[in-house]
Chain A
Amino acid sequence: MQLAAAGGAALAGLGLGVHAKQASALPAYAVRPPGALHEPEFLGACVRCGLCVRDCPYNTLKLSAFGDGVAPGTPFFVPRTVACEMCPDIPCVKACPTGALDHALEDINSARMGLAVLIDHETCLNFNGLRCDVCYRVCPLIDKAITLDMQRNQRTGKHAMFLPVVHSDACTGCGKCEHACVLETAAIKVLPRAQAKGELGHHYRLGWEEKARAGHSLLPDKVLELPVRRPGDGS
């Protein structure tokens, strides 16, 4: 009887552990509140109390229900439905009793809830030469998190295109751009940062940065003497 009890419990624990491991990724449409720890740590720190949801003055935050695709009882929001209003006093973070939302976040502009990515160039109206600009206009950090990059319209040959460009060093992932995108399905989407960002090999050095840091070129004057070869000179 004891053996059966222990065995059953061990099996249940194993199942739960495995399930927790494979279900612990946040779905791409969901974004955590400001100050949330990285997802793996967040799931061990959040006690599923809902205090952050209660203190969200715009009812942006939802507490995940069983079957929502987000770990049950944890807070999230879906930017396409409703975006974070970026309250300067960050009441959701203050409400967290455990530190799943890090109280070290004091400036909402430093929040990194996710990262906006203009993921579909083919449907974005600005990429089609129109001046929609809506994502750019609604961005709380306009001209920092999203800028418009003017380029020649190759199709017409005589017009300009103003391409929205997201800058990851300023984007908070509030979701305003995705929420406001006028398309049936947004061309710009806020993704979890881990999914949106690439990572350079750690041994890479960018020559121009190294040069700026040193104040001069790091190469000796003459590194290589290469012969000049032109077609037809017979050498």
Chain B
Amino acid sequence: MTTMKTSLAPARVPGREAIAAKGWLSAHKWLLLRRASQLGLLLLFALGPWLGVWIVKGTLTSSLTLDTLPLTDPFFLLQSLAAGHLPYREALIGAVIVIAFYLVVGGRIYCAWICPMNIVTDTAAWLRRRLNLQGGRAPSPTTRYWLLGAILLASFASGTLAWEWINPVSLLHRGLLFGFGAAWAIILGVFLYDLLIATKGWCGHLCPMGATYSLLNFSGVPKVSALRREACDDCLDCYAVCPEPQVIRPALKGEGSPIIASNNCTHCGRCIDVCAQDVFQMTTRFHHRRDGHEQGTDHTAARFGGGGVRPVH
């Protein structure tokens, strides 16, 4: 049975040591960059309806940039295909461009750098740490893949884009650009779920969009690496802030490559921010250790739990 309690002992605030060691700005560098990316993108979409400056038109599900570049979210395309509709070439080309982009930068970059729900769930996680809320229960991180499958089946059976009746990601993004209606209730529901019931429950365990993007997250070039893992003093701050804490351990405590290879790393870089010892760095998948020791070819095994998959080099 799970119980909700707030501990009386003062909570350790992840990142406080990093602020003391590096200064506030350095200890929030990646967080600020991500917020700039998320809000900047939102602003690009909003410039049209707010100021009549039409750079990007549409929403994250499908958009047209400068009246020429079509972009379509692969998760929406999947649902539509499952529902039995083959879209026009514009949407297909848009999806190919998006897929190609995420194959280069890494699929779950979307979750940390673009998705507007990230701000909501980050806030819930932050508040949960600040209030020192414990207990609750998170479902298995694989639930999202089952959910993705169930959604595609439901789309097939109902002939509609099944997830779009409740998808908080598109409801939030569309709500900001076209009006919320009662969508705020769904967003609030996710916030409360993450705050009170499941730590990092939505983005880390349930979201089928994140699941789709994690399937595209095997060849991205930017990679977070525990380059100076020997300096780790086991303060656990990185685990506390990571939306997918299970991805850190193989790189930080393992014998192999220090590159975080899991396809669920969102490349948010928050572990880099909060580490007072500067263990982590944003590198590329081709990065070799400074001491000249060959690295970077064995992390594929860690990603897929070992064996049989050739590195994408």
Interfacial residues, chain A to chain B (CB-CB below 8 A)? 1-2, 4-6, 8-10, 12-14, 16-17, 19-21, 23-24, 40-41, 43-51, 53-55, 62-68, 71-73, 95-100, 103
Contacts and interface: CB of A to CB of B under 8 A. Distances in A.
A203 to B, nearest CB: 30
B120 interface: no
A137 B291 CA distance: 85
Given A63-B174, A71-B160, A97-B90, A44 B83 contact: yes
A49 B158 contact: no
B180 A45 contact: no
Given A48-B164, A50-B59, A67-B182, A5 B139 contact: yes
B161 A23 contact: no
A123 B99 CA distance: 58
Interface stretch (B11-19, B148-156, B243-251): B148-156
Nearest to B142: A5
Given A48-B61, A50-B58, A97-B70, A13 B165 contact: no
B170 interface: yes
Contacts of B149: 9, 13
19 contacts: A4-B139, A9-B143, A13-B149, A16-B150, A17-B154, A20-B162, A21-B158, A44-B83, A45-B85, A47-B72, A48-B174, A49-B58, A54-B58, A62-B178, A66-B175, A66-B185, A72-B181, A95-B64, A99-B85
B147 interface: yes
B154 A14 contact: yes
Contact count band on B: 35 or more
B162 A17 contact: yes
A6 B148 CA distance: 10
Contacts of A49: 58-59, 61-63, 72
Contacts of B146: 5-6, 8-10
A43 B76 CA distance: 12
Given A48-B76, A64-B181, A97-B72, 4 more contacts: A8-B139, A8-B147, A66-B182, A71-B160
B88 interface: yes
Most buried by A among B72, B139, B143: B143
Contacts of B213: none
| Shortest Cβ-Cβ A-B pairs, 9 listed | A65-B181, A13-B150, A44-B83, A67-B182, A9-B146, A49-B62, A17-B154, A98-B87, A66-B183
A47 B161 contact: yes
Contacts of A6: 146
Contacts of A41: 85, 159
B146 to A, nearest CB: 3
Contacts of B48: 54
A142 B57 CA distance: 36
A20 B102 CA distance: 30
A48 B186 CA distance: 17
A43 B160 CA distance: 5
A11 B139 CA distance: 14
B77 interface: yes
B94 interface: yes
Interface string B156-198: 0111111111100011001101111111011000000000000
A69 to B, nearest CB: 10
Contact of B154 (A8, A16, A23, A54): A16
A13 B87 contact: no
